[in-house]
Structure 1
Amino acid sequence: MMRRRTTLLASCTAIALAFGSTACGGDDDVSAGGGDKALSGQTVTVAGVWSGTEQKNFQKVLDAFTEKTGAKTRFVPTGDNVSTVVGSKIEGGDAPDVVMVPQVGVLQQFAKNGWLKPLSAKAQTAVDENFAPVWKNYGSVDGKLYGLYFKAAHKSTVWYSPDALAQAGVETPKTYDEMLKAGRTVSDSGLSAFAVAGQDGWTLTDWFENVYLSQAGAEKYDALAAHKLKWTDQSVVDALTTLGKLFKDKQLIAGGQKGALNTDFPGSVEKVFGPEPEAGMVYEGDFVAGVAKDQFGKKIGEDANFFPFPPVGSGDAPVVSGGDAAVVLKDGKNSEAGMALLEYLTTPEASAVWAGIGGYISPNKNLDLASYGDDVTRATAKSLVDAGNADAVRFDMSDQAPAAFGGTKGTGEWKILQDFLRDPSNPKATAAELEKAAAKAYGS
């Protein structure tokens, strides 16, 4: 408790910038829910993809903002098609004030459409103080800062049941080939190796990105992400071939390809950590921990743990990140109050609310690691923040793409990789389909 209080005091300057001198008491204490309630009577509408546990946890952050400022909040789930839903609301005269944008490409699209307000001077100052430059770069378009990365993700983590691996007599793997070998041993012991959330196309893009970054290297990853390298490049075919070996192995995937295509992300976590386990491992980001803990009562570090996504062949271990950026829409009815929410979200205080609950990593470098509830999350958060400070991570490739290619359900990369999961027999043809869809979305 003392360590957290020290952090909040140290970050008092940033909080004061965002909310004025009322954020910091004259006795050097930060009172719970302090603030002058200057926004009483206003309602901030926030739209985002979060549902279930994530929405519930974010609501606690919004409730803390309400207690501080007096502004009420209303969260509107968008589903995965954020761009389409927000565009429709703007056209219909019902624009939200704030949108939590899950893709860099969508943020760029919103900015180029003229929908966004640049961050206020107060918010920009706090971003400079509390965030590594990489996060500011991803939130900027043409030199203007529009997005505040409130929630980050470490997407190079493979989560497993320690009991399942122990019963199979396998250690956590150090290479991709070792991981598949360990998976087959787990399967021989009675469980499938992996629960794959093929119903959610975004999880398949994450699988591809980790394999590609490790196998092809950072230079080609950056080129492919910017579409300066075509998807028909042999490096893409090679990565798809590597991934296809996993997808077509019925011993490795719970329910086989059909079962994977009928499993969404929460369902994939349930298949490993639920009351009737079907698999020993599930690949996805650090947010797996939140679902395992909140929905299935697992103790992170004991009942659920992770190992880093292992290197493929002679490549390096990948470090892929993602994140959700808060932006303010010009057409929101309470956009000024929306900007006040962003100013609050820049503070370590706001991040600490969700950090203490779990299923969350903040890119805020001034958030005390003691705010996290377990050692596993603490270590994951430190790894990502350190990598961000060193500019040593690569942002989720599909999130950098135009939404039509990398961020829309039922089309583009999401659908093509779902088709590949269904039939991984022709990686070259899949690469050609990916290039066709990318060229259309990028306009090249």
Structure 2
Amino acid sequence: MRSKSSTVRTHSSATALAALLAGALALTACSSGDNDKKGSGETTGTAAGSTVTLPKLDGAKLEIAAVWTGQEQKNFKRVLAEFEKRTGAKVTFVPAQDPIINFLGSKIAGGQPPDVALLPQPGAIRQAVQKGWAKPLGAEAVKELRKNYSQGWQDIGSVGGKQYGVYYKAANKSLIWYNATAFGNAGAKEPKTWQDLLTASRAVYDSGVTPFSVAGADGWPLTDWFENVYLSQAGPEKYDQLAQHKIKWTDPSVKRALTTLAQIWGKKDYLAGGRSGALQTEFPQSVTQTFTGGDQPKSAMVYEGDFVQVNIGETKAKVGTDAKVFPFPAVGSTAPVVSGGDAAVILKDSKAAQALATFLASPDAATIQAKLGGYLSPNKNVPVSAYPNAVQQKIAEALVASGDDFRFDMSDQAPQAFGGTPGKGEWKDLQDFLKNPADVAGAQARLEKDAAAAYGSGS
């Protein structure tokens, strides 16, 4: 199955959002505890003041599946509890495994599909529709979407002109978080360009701290690294072509991006634990080891999206003071803006399932989770003041201000077999490249072979 350009609404002028985000983060880099308290104290439009009408569903039972774990899962259960309170329905959270399409397939084959599933890839939504699993959203859910979401976020949840997905959660995947103490001790400055990033990395390394944690045990952060470099360097038109496999992974633009990545990945002393250590580092550890260890953390920087804050929260570091953030530097003429997200899709059509989708499309639901931190909503009617600290408030502000001006995660647009399966496809190919960053040609050949097979079969 190919990614259709009409499904992912994108524009070539991401410059404005990148500039806005850079300015926002600069303003909030030194946010104080007072600002943090102010952010959580001014919340309006919360669940207590309902803005969406829901039916009474006394006795109804629902299951909702997602791959979320830990604090993220706990926070989402708070949202589900509010839905239960308002409707009288009982909602059970079903932990899913990646790739979620395979998980759902086994559930459906066994006659026990969940009522709703949160799918992290537009490609997975299209597969669910093609397999006949996904059910269109009803009139009330569509009404909430049109009221609360930009056209771009509506488009990436639609297939064949019908609305199937509610993008309940978004992610800004163009951020690098850093240990303020390590940066200060090294005299390093927040970089604006890739060359600046290399300069800062060298300063950190010379100070005795390893520059980066890379979550190589999880393939998906490696795809995000690549996408930011590629979007900035090759530009949005090439990005869209590669996302749809209209150009091959053997294209010179891919060679250039991998060669650029190797400027960091190829320096084993720049990676916590070296390349072999990086390949054994899972995402949560990549974050926590950056913000623990006092003056000698295992790394000074970690790349990933706004959701990094959930894992920072597991340490004693405070966002805005101990843990700071800058936009992914410009590799080409423009800094990249890559977004991702999770969409609620109905698998068992019922009054209760439609009501849950409607609730998740409302600002009421998103406001509850926004207040708990580590979460970003594309819902433009969630009050910015709901986010618990100034840094997150500005990230949310920048996302809403962008409207449709973003590029969606490339691997999430791909067929699941290529862009979303552990140990296969792009995830595995980039892990192999991290293991041997000198083999650019070999990495390109493997990526193209796997992409051609997946796009050709639509799996």
Give the TM-score normalised by the residue count of structure 2. 0.88
> What's the counterpart of residue 5 of structure 1?
44
1:100 is paired with a residue whose SS is strand
Distance in 1 of aligned mates of 2:189 and 2:428? 34
CA–CA distance in structure 1, aligned partners of residues 333 and 92 of structure 2: 46
Q: Deviations over 1:78-124 (max 9, x none)?
A: 12211111100000111111111001111110011110110110000
**81, 85, 91: which one aligns with 1:63:** 81
Deviation at 1:9, TM superposition (A): 10
Gapped runs of 5+ residues in structure 1?
A: 21-37
Aligned to 2:298: 278
Partner of 1:248: 266
Specify the alignment match of 2:455 in structure 1.
442
CA distance in 1, matches of 2:48, 2:98: 38
* Range that drifts further, 415-424 or 270-279: 270-279
Q: Deviations over 1:322-342 (max 9, x none)?
A: 000000103x7xx43222111
- Following the alignment from structure 2 to structure 1, what is the Cα–Cα distance between the partners of residues 102 and 190? 41
CA RMSD, 1 decimal: 1.7
Match of 2:23 in 1: none
Partner of residue 32, structure 2: none
Structure 2 unaligned regions, length at least 5? 1-39
How does the TM-score come out when normalised to structure 1?
A: 0.91
SS in 2 for 1:73: strand
Counterpart of 1:280, as a letter, is A
Q: Which residue identity does 1:170 align to in structure 2? A: A
Determine if the alignment matches structure 1 residue 397 to structure 2 residue 405: no
Q: Residues 253-332 of structure 1: matches in 2 within 5 Å? A: 253-275=271-293, 277-293=297-313, 295-312=314-331, 314-330=332-348
Report how far residue 7 of structure 1 moved: 7.7
Q: Which amino acid aligns with 2:230?
A: Y
1:415 to 417, 428, 436: 428
Equivalent positions of 1:111-190 (< 5 A) are 111-190=129-208
Match of 1:50 among 68, 83, 92: 68
Q: Quick one: which of 359, 365, 369 aligns to 1:354?
A: 369
Residue in structure 2 matching 1:89, options 82, 97, 107: 107
Aligned counterpart, 2:391: 376
Provide, for residues 4-57 of structure 1, a one-character-per-residue CA deviation record: whole Å limited to 9, x for no partner: 436879983xx13xx26xxxxxxxxxxxxxxxxx22322211111111121111
Q: Matched residue of 1:192: which SS?
A: coil
Distance 1:153 1:6, change over 3 A: closer
Q: In 2 relative to 1, CA 45–9 (structure 1 residues): closer, same or farther, beyond 3 Å? A: closer
Q: How far apart are the structure 1 equivalents of 2:246 and 2:439?
A: 24
The aligned residue for residue 212 of structure 2 is 194
The one of the two structures with greater contact order (alpha-carbon pairs below 8 A, sep at least 6) is 2
Residue identity (%): 52
Deviation of 1:419 (Å): 0.5
State how far apart, in whole Å, the 1-side matches of 2:60 and 2:203 are.
58
Cα deviations by residue, 1:107-156 (Å, 9 ceiling, x for unpaired): 11001111011011000011001000011110000001000000000000
What does 1:10-29 align with in structure 2 at a 5 Å threshold? 12=51, 15-16=52-53, 19=54
Shift in Å at residue 395 of structure 1? Answer: 0.1
The superposition leaves residues 355-391 of structure 1 with CA deviations (integer Å, 9 ceiling, x where unpaired) of: 111000000001110000001001111111111x1x2
SS at match of 1:231: coil
Cα pair 1:7 1:366 within 8 Å, conserved: no
Is 2:231 aligned against 1:213? yes
Q: Structure 1: how far apart are the matches of 2:188 and 2:74?
A: 36
| Aligned-partner Cα distance in 2 for 1:75–1:297 | 29
Q: In 2, are the aligned partners of 1:216 and 1:315 still within 8 Å (CA)? A: no
Distance 1:97 1:274, change over 3 A: farther
